[in-house]
Structure 1
């Protein structure tokens, strides 16, 4: 039997999976390197090598698939995922939904790779600790709801953004994958107290030491 559920909004309570080497996939599946947004709820399960349906598989059906490569959208598309792997993508006529899969009816909605925002500032408190963590949790959730699964923080209070990154990586805080440039740097008279040159030099030095030790 198959479990059927209605198409949900983007799940903001699950972090997109970290990319890893995936098994060969049919059709367009190999082009979906980033997480497909509606699949972040897929159960973590290995993909077997045989032709049977993978345990814990999730099948998104009746979808308008946008592959991000410039091709025409695939209507009445199907995406099948198991754990953090997308194992099949294509028109319904070409993709077989495995027995036992959880069915997510997209109702014609778009399914696409996660978006990347390459300039954000998730600024925290001056001491590196946000006093409004609920607000930042909402901000991170809003990014996920908008389809953003990767961000690049172009400058921040370094201890704060490092902590946010660590919490997301550990799965304790829902949010997109975070990359960072490092601390904000102002002139001799900084607009933001912790972004002056002297403080920045110390923090950059500490950052380099941490990379060398890794």
Structure 2
């Protein structure tokens, strides 16, 4: 009896310790949830090619029923009974997908950009590093906007890389206080920038996780494995893995160059990446580590894209960018959680189309069309912690949907052929 009591006490102690260490998990909500339109009627989208976001095969000749702001049925048309009085949308020759989710959006001083992105099929955006107040005018504009998942300013060390978008943290107490202040404002994520002292990352992630908020980071001069071990949930930019893949001596040269001048990266990152060996044990080790940790990676390839053209060709940039693309494909194929982030304004896309260019670059890297769509929808929903109500076309989920002309599983460029966009059961295009 005594042994049984001791065993019971040990089990209680272990369970208590495990519970105490487990981060708080909560469903994240957009800051503008109350401002979004909300459907009231019943809509049937019929005879459509259904790509539900879960990564499986498309369902041809499918129908989806929306009542109010929710999906109430989805599947083969023969299995869906359309209620009397429903508004019918003919989807023949088109594909229906979940609304696209953008993990890395920057407003860049263009207050019309969120609305433009929504018109182009992106129904949720996350700005990982800007004062929440900057979006006040966007929210008051009267325009339809996507769901806004905002972070507040990114946390950076001194001198900050982007002073207007940063909150400079000088010690752990200051960092923790800032995390709690933006959490009180409704922050949906915390972003760490590359000058944040590595020793502060754990304090920041611990504070954020207590509030149920994920933490992501643009690292560049911090070793990614160390930051992830400290609690980082996501990585912004494929270039954040540079130090993990570069020999120590060369990595330190790059790091010191960045510490001396932020602009060093403009050419330095391409020089560094051109020399990386993606078949090395370091690359394989990094891949296994990211899979084991369940880390989300938003590569933002489009902002680094370099194309050869007339005139002098920068072979270093060409080679460096090719390595970035190849690593992205390697990580995805090995099981890393890759998601789609646009960076909003990129060199080879017109205003409003950066997200589609990012999807196209994923395919050009060697990732399948189906995997790209999954990364743009359900994987991003998991990264945002909104997968219980968005990210896929399933009964009970909110009706954020897009109709595109053609089949993006056959040609990813079809994602530019936006016919209709629905958010919360309301067509906004």
In structure 1, the residue corresponding to 2:78 is in which secondary structure? coil
Q: Distance in 1 between matches of 2:180 and 2:145?
A: 26
Give the number of equivalent residue pairs: 150
Alignment of 1:130-149 (within 5 A): 135-137=110-112, 139-149=113-123
Q: Distance in 2 between matches of 1:164 and 1:106?
A: 36
Alpha carbons of structure 1 residues 41 and 77: separation in structure 2 relative to 1, 3 Å: farther
The one of 153, 157, 168 equivalent to 1:197 is 168
Structure of greater Rg: 2
The CA deviation at 1:144 is: 1.7
Matched, 1:152 2:121: no
Which structure dedicates a bigger proportion of its chain to strand?
Answer: 1
Q: Report the RMSD for the aligned CA atoms in angstroms.
A: 3.6
Matched, 1:86 2:71: yes
Q: Deviations over 1:104-163 (max 9, x none)?
A: 111221111112111111234xxxxxxxxxx422x22332233221121111134203x2
The CA deviation at 1:96 is: 1.4
Q: Distance in 2 between matches of 1:212 and 1:42?
A: 26
Q: Distance in 2 between matches of 1:108 and 1:42?
A: 27
Alpha carbons of structure 1 residues 160 and 203: separation in structure 2 relative to 1, 3 Å: farther
Matched, 1:180 2:180: no
Q: 1:112 — aligned with what?
A: 97
Q: Distance in 2 between matches of 1:155 and 1:100?
A: 45
TM (norm. structure 1) is: 0.56
Which structure dedicates a bigger proportion of its chain to helix?
Answer: 2
Alpha carbons of structure 1 residues 206 and 189: separation in structure 2 relative to 1, 3 Å: closer
The CA deviation at 1:80 is: 0.8
TM (norm. structure 2) is: 0.30
Q: Is the 8 A contact 2:153 2:167 kept in 1?
A: no
Give runs of ≥4 in structure 1 deviating > 6 Å: 201-204
Q: Distance in 1 between matches of 2:37 and 2:180?
A: 37
Q: 2:88 — aligned with what?
A: 103
Q: Distance in 2 between matches of 1:41 and 1:156?
A: 25
Alpha carbons of structure 1 residues 72 and 180: separation in structure 2 relative to 1, 3 Å: same
